[in-house]
């Protein structure tokens, strides 16, 4: 029962987050619809097409009439980059497209102290908010007249500063003199007052905390700008990261995937054929294959590390296991899927068993095997990255894992994008190979 209660609490937390995100999601959907309306307006201005599918009057529910709109795809991708740039203050975007950024520059506020005998005095605090990484000294200010003296400080953007403004005053907190107002607005310990460049809060002990406005842009540590990621890509491609260049990291990952997949196919395809052609082999391996197939390869990582260590052998064993069952099952169903009339026809044309194997069963199973290979390559790519996240000396997954420990979010982002691009390219290549090598797929 305690478990159920805990789970309910977790679910509630998730739902709250979702509700908080709902306005943004709705906004995004509205933006999509707005773009759609704009595009249909633009389309009306262009010369109408008269090909077969544009003449169809019934398109709702007609699956063949719903194709991917290229314009929508382009707009969608451009929008992702625009949003990314706008919320990171990217220099690739003109300034007016930026989301409100953090305050940077000079600001000032005035504070009022009240002495125990009811006297008040004002002093000004000059604040310089400077970009991160720059060394800027607090400006020299004239202390001015009265009990309270003027102060100055320099703060990096996104940072805040606790400032004892009463340090240089003639009467401070030790003399029971307290700050009672900021820019004329009353303040008490624990409260805060909005000022021109942000906010000034007061701690429980009466120290001022100067918090320049942070805007709605993301700090680079959460989300670096596109050009930062790009320049990091160039740097890592040439200089490298953790003693290896980018090509080495990616090359190692690809090497593991390809070797593991090839070994898996080399064993899995004959195994699948044996299972498809012989009752005995099928009976022997069915329990093993059917048990191993639903075990996610990621669950084997700990065991593989215990048995084979974190070197190449362990990784390749893991990928071999990831590919093996998929390929075996694909080859098995490829063999079982041959129409018996094709085998009958081949027999009555005088083919021997071996000839039927070579000319009928193998070509008939190739489309299934290709489908299996595509799935297996996808799974292997996912598995290798995950395995490298756990432990590796080189590799795409290792690169982003180490980078995340050092909060190099730009490397993490770059790595994720590259991993995505490579995974996508692998799938595209497999599809192309399929078109070239088994053009009869689905035509039987």
Partner 1 sequence: MRFDLPNGSSVQALKDVSLDLKAGELLSVLGPSGCGKTTLLNIVAGFLAPTEGQIILNGHQVTGPAAERGMVFQQGALFEWMSVRENVGFGPSMKGMPKAEKAGIVDHLLDIVGLQDFKDKAVYELSGGMQQRVALARCLANEPDVILMDEPLGALDALTREKMQGLVLKLWKETGKTIILITHSVEEALLLGERLIVMAPRPGRIHTEYRLPFAEMGVGQDLREVKKHPKFGEVREEILGMIWDMEEEIMGRTEDA
Binding to partner 1 by residue 365, rule CB under 8 A?
A: no
**Shortest distance, position 350 Cβ to partner 1, whole Å:** 3
Q: Which residue has the tokens 């953790």?
A: 242
**Shortest distance, position 346 Cβ to partner 1, whole Å:** 7
Q: Pick the closest to residue 369 from 439, 288, 268, 296 (CA basis).
A: 268
The answer to whether residues 208 and 153 touch, using CB atoms and an 8 Å cutoff, is: no
Q: Which stretch binds partner 1 (CB under 8 A): 166-174, 213-221, 247-255, 361-369?
A: 361-369
Q: Which is nearer to partner 1, 338 or 389 (CB)?
A: 338
Binding to partner 1 by residue 348, rule CB under 8 A?
A: yes
Q: Which is nearer to partner 1, 321 or 346 (CB)?
A: 346
Mention every residue, 6+ apart, whose C-beta is less than 8 A from residue 225. 84, 85, 88, 89, 90, 91, 92
Window 223-252: residues binding partner 1 (CB under 8 A): none
Binding to partner 1 by residue 366, rule CB under 8 A?
A: yes
Q: Pick the closest to residue 188 from 198, 180, 177, 197 (CA basis).
A: 180
Parallel, antiparallel, or unpaired for β 198-202 and 208-212? antiparallel
Binding to partner 1 by residue 435, rule CB under 8 A?
A: no
User: How many residues does this entry show for the chain?
Assistant: 444
Q: Which stretch binds partner 1 (CB under 8 A): 89-97, 190-198, 335-343, 400-408?
A: 335-343
Binding to partner 1 by residue 347, rule CB under 8 A?
A: yes
Q: Which is nearer to partner 1, 49 or 435 (CB)?
A: 435
Q: Which of 339, 353, 431, 435 binds partner 1 (CB under 8 A)?
A: 339
Q: Which of 223, 342, 375, 423 binds partner 1 (CB under 8 A)?
A: 342
Binding to partner 1 by residue 357, rule CB under 8 A?
A: no
Binding to partner 1 by residue 405, rule CB under 8 A?
A: no
Phi then psi for residue 112, to 5 deg, are: -120, 130
Query: Within the chain, how many helices (H) and strands (E) appear?
Result: 12, 9
Q: Which is nearer to partner 1, 167 or 359 (CB)?
A: 359
Separation of alpha carbons 258 and 305, rounded Å: 20
Binding to partner 1 by residue 359, rule CB under 8 A?
A: yes
Separation of alpha carbons 180 and 122, rounded Å: 10
The answer to whether residues 272 and 330 touch, using CB atoms and an 8 Å cutoff, is: yes
**Shortest distance, position 340 Cβ to partner 1, whole Å:** 9
Binding to partner 1 by residue 351, rule CB under 8 A?
A: yes
Sheet holding 192-195, edge to edge: 161-163, 208-212, 198-202, 192-195
Binding to partner 1 by residue 349, rule CB under 8 A?
A: yes
Binding to partner 1 by residue 369, rule CB under 8 A?
A: no
Q: Which of 5, 50, 350, 436 binds partner 1 (CB under 8 A)?
A: 350
- Angle (CA) 368-372-377 rounded to 5° is 150
**Shortest distance, position 442 Cβ to partner 1, whole Å:** 9
Q: Which of 9, 143, 309, 363 binds partner 1 (CB under 8 A)?
A: 363
Q: Which of 131, 296, 302, 444 binds partner 1 (CB under 8 A)?
A: 444
DSSP 108-157: EEEEEEE-TTS-EEEEEEEEEEE-TT---PPPP----SSSS--EEEEEET
Separation of alpha carbons 377 and 260, rounded Å: 10
Q: Which is nearer to partner 1, 130 or 441 (CB)?
A: 441
**Shortest distance, position 333 Cβ to partner 1, whole Å:** 17
Q: Which is nearer to partner 1, 40 or 348 (CB)?
A: 348
Q: How deeply is 182 buried, as exposed, middle or buried, from its count of CB atoms within 10 A (0-12, 13-18, 19+)?
A: buried
Q: Which of 37, 345, 421, 428 binds partner 1 (CB under 8 A)?
A: 345
Q: Pick the closest to residue 418 from 250, 239, 236 (CA basis).
A: 250
Binding to partner 1 by residue 293, rule CB under 8 A?
A: no
Distance of CA 196 to the CA centre of its chain: 36
Per CB under 8 A, residues contacting partner 1 are 339, 341-342, 344-352, 355, 359-360, 363-364, 366, 438-440, 443-444
């Amino acid at each position: 029962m305690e478990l159920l209660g805990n789970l309910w609490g977790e679910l509630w937390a998730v739902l709250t987050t979702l509700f908080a995100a709902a306005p943004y999601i709705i906004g995004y959907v509205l933006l999509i619809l707005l773009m759609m309306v704009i595009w249909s307006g633009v389309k009306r201005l262009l010369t109408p097409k008269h090909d077969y599918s544009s003449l169809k009057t019934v398109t709702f529910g007609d699956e063949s009439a719903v194709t991917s709109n290229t314009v929508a795809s382009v707009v969608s991708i451009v929008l992702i980059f625009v949003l990314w740039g706008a919320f990171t203050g990217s220099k690739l975007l003109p300034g007016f497209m930026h989301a409100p950024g953090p305050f940077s520059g000079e600001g000032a506020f005035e504070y009022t102290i009240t002495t125990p005998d009811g006297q008040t005095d004002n002093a000004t605090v000059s604040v310089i908010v400077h970009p991160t990484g720059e060394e800027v000294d607090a400006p020299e200010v004239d202390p001015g007249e009265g009990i309270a003296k003027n102060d100055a400080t320099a703060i990096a953007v996104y940072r805040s500063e606790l400032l004892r403004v009463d340090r240089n005053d003639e009467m401070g907190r030790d003399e029971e003199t307290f700050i009672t107002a900021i820019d004329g607005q009353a303040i008490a310990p624990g409260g805060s007052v909005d000022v021109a460049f942000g906010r000034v809060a007061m701690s429980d002990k009466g120290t001022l905390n100067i918090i320049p406005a942070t805007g709605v842009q993301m700090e680079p540590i959460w989300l670096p700008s596109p050009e930062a990621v790009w320049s990091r890509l160039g740097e890592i491609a040439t200089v490298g990261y953790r003693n290896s260049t980018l090509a080495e990291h990616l090359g190692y990952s690809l090497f593991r995937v390809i070797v593991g997949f090839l070994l898996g196919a080399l064993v899995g395809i004959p195994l699948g054929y044996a299972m498809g052609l012989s009752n005995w082999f099928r009976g022997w391996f069915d329990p093993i294959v059917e048990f191993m197939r639903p075990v996610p390869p990621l669950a084997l990582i700990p065991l593989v590390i215990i048995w084979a260590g974190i070197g190449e052998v362990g990784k390749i064993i893991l990928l071999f296991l990831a590919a093996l069952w998929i390929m075996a099952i694909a080859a098995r169903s490829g063999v079982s899927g041959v129409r018996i009339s094709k085998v009958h026809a081949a027999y009555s044309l005088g083919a021997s068993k071996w000839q039927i194997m070579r000319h009928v069963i193998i070509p008939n199973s190739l489309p299934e095997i290709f489908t299996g290979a595509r799935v297996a390559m996808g799974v292997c790519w996912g598995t290798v990255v995950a395995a490298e996240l756990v432990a590796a000396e080189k590799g795409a997954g290792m690169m982003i894992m180490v980078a995340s420990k050092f909060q190099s979010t730009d490397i993490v982002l770059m790595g994720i994008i590259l991993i995505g691009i490579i995974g996508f390219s692998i799938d595209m290549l497999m599809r192309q190979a399929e078109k070239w090598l088994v053009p009869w797929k689905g035509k039987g």
